[in-house]
């Protein structure tokens, strides 16, 4: 499983996940931007870096390891030192080393002992989270990555219940995609359709909640694109126009995106909106 890519996407989608794993309050994530940065000299790339927007908070380097690697800490410190030299951040820093299981941790090296003793390097073992109850979708997906094949169906059912209760449509959409991606890696002998059937993902995708999530996601994308096109064609739109466009259905947004090709000025937009009986 390409865990580096998967965890990069998880950290992007679930901004509090890293802080939950190191058992800090989710609010600690406030003021951090998650990025991936490459160190040019050796083409090292971190699994993720959390950059603070204030000098008071430290830069956090995150590295995920799902297999034994004797040189893990040597490589990690090389990446960090090269990054510090290259970018020269003003903030302090610490690193979070995330191991799937304890046996993948090569152990404390005397060369870096002070970093362990001072918690400059914080270690997380994902296996410790396997039997913990959680309301966090991010943690639940991490559990799904690690859980045995026999226990996966029950965990997916629990996740499905959480997904249906999620109030943010785009996040619901992402969670279902994450579940499906993890299961494709976990059960390589099965096709995607077989996985959907076996784990009731097909049912989840056909629930009103999931359909609403997909529809809302498409509508938001269409609205953003439409506003950009209109601004490029007619100039900056005032709030009145933006509100009216936001109220359009997905179908009418698509119709407007075609109609605007013939617009020459803002009057054409007014006329089109009047035809839709949206002008007040």
What mean pLDDT do residues 65-83 have?
Answer: 94
Average of per-residue pLDDT values in the chain:
83
Confidence check: pLDDT of 194 > 90: no
pLDDT the model gives residue 211: 53
Q: How does pLDDT run across 114-134, given as a tens digit for each residue?
A: 999 999 999 999 999 998 888
pLDDT the model gives residue 169: 61
Q: Which of 30-34, 85-89, 123-127, 199-203 has the lowest mean pLDDT?
A: 199-203
How far apart (Å, rounded) are the C-alpha atoms in residues 34 and 48?
Answer: 7
Burial annotation 242-259 (CB, 10 A radius, 16+ → b, else e): eebbeebeeebbeebeee
Confidence check: pLDDT of 280 > 50: no
Helices 137-146, 3-13: inter-axial angle, 10-degree rounding:
170
Q: How does pLDDT run across 154-176, given as a tens digit for each residue?
A: 888 888 888 877 656 666 777 87
Q: How confident is the model at residue 209 (pLDDT cuts 50, 70, 90)?
A: very low
How far apart (Å, rounded) are the C-alpha atoms in residues 122 and 94?
Answer: 8
């Amino acid at each position: 499983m390409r865990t580096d890519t998967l965890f990069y996407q998880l950290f992007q989608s679930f901004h509090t996940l890293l802080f939950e794993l190191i058992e800090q309050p989710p609010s600690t994530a406030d003021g951090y931007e998650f990025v991936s940065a490459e160190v040019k000299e050796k083409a090292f790339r971190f699994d993720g870096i959390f950059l603070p927007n204030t000098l008071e908070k430290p830069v956090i380097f995150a590295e995920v390891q799902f297999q034994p690697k004797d040189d893990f800490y040597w490589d990690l410190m090389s990446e960090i030192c090269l990054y510090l030299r290259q970018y020269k951040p003003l903030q302090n820093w610490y690193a979070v080393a995330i191991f799937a299981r304890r046996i993948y941790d090569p152990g404390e090296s005397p060369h870096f002992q002070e970093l362990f003793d001072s918690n400059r390097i914080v270690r997380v073992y994902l296996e410790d989270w396997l039997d913990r109850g959680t309301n966090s979708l991010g943690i639940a997906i991490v559990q799904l990555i690690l859980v045995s094949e026999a226990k996966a169906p029950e965990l997916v059912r629990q996740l499905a219940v959480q997904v249906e209760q999620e109030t943010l449509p785009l996040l619901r959409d992402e969670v279902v995609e994450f579940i499906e991606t993890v299961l494709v890696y976990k059960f390589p002998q099965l096709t995607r359709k077989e996985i959907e059937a076996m784990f009731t993902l097909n049912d989840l995708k056909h629930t009103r909640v999931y359909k609403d999530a997909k529809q809302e996601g498409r509508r938001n994308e269409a609205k953003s694109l439409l506003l950009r096109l209109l601004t490029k064609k007619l100039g900056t739109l005032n709030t009145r126009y933006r509100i009216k466009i936001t109220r359009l259905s997905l179908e009418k947004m698509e119709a407007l995106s075609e109609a605007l090709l013939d617009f020459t000025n803002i009057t054409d937009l007014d006329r089109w909106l009047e035809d839709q009986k949206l002008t007040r």
